Amino acid sequence: MLISPAYAQAGDPTGGLMSLAPLVLIFVVFYFILIRPQQKKAREHREMLAALQRGDRVVTGGGVLGTVIRVTPESDEVIVEISKNPQLRVTVVKNTIQSVLRDSGEPPKTGEGTEQPRQAKRRQDRAEGEAAEPPKPPPAEREPETPPVEPRPATDRTPRPG
């Protein structure tokens, strides 16, 4: 009588595993939505830095544009020329280089490279649209709707003694 009948009941053997199913499902979703794309982006960034060579135009994390002058494979530093003045060179850490600008029309090797091809496509679509339309003639000059106002004659506004 003092012992509750609940202790005597047997539990469901699959109940413990089914309670873990939502946690496993959340982990799988996080892996495919957050972790895997981040790992892919980091791998592409490492490959871009490994392929860095003299003459590449780069953008640093601070937004500074420059040309790579010297890359030392055993060091994590790169010498970048940021001006046309050859005396103005800066040493930057490789990991601060965000992207390499390519002249061949190839998109930059970063995780955000999808935005620039979209913008290029929009520019190309606009250019094709403008080429298809005939040029519009310049608008004709119109006469002003109100006649010009003639200046009033100057009046003496000095105070008069009273």
pLDDT per residue, tens digit, the chain (162 aa), is 566 655 555 556 666 778 888 999 999 999 999 999 999 999 999 999 999 999 999 999 999 999 999 998 888 999 999 998 888 999 999 999 999 997 654 555 544 444 455 556 666 666 665 555 555 555 665 555 676 677 776 676 766 676
Residue 68: per-residue pLDDT: 94
| 58 within 8 A of 94, measured Cβ to Cβ | no
Residue where one domain finishes, among candidates 83, 103, 123? 103
The boundaries of the domain holding residue 97 are 53-103
Domain identity same for 59 and 99: yes
In a domain, 85, yes or no: yes
| 67 within 8 A of 51, measured Cβ to Cβ | no
Residue where one domain finishes, among candidates 103, 124, 144? 103
Length of the chain: 162
Q: How many domains does the chain have?
A: 2
In a domain, 38, yes or no: yes
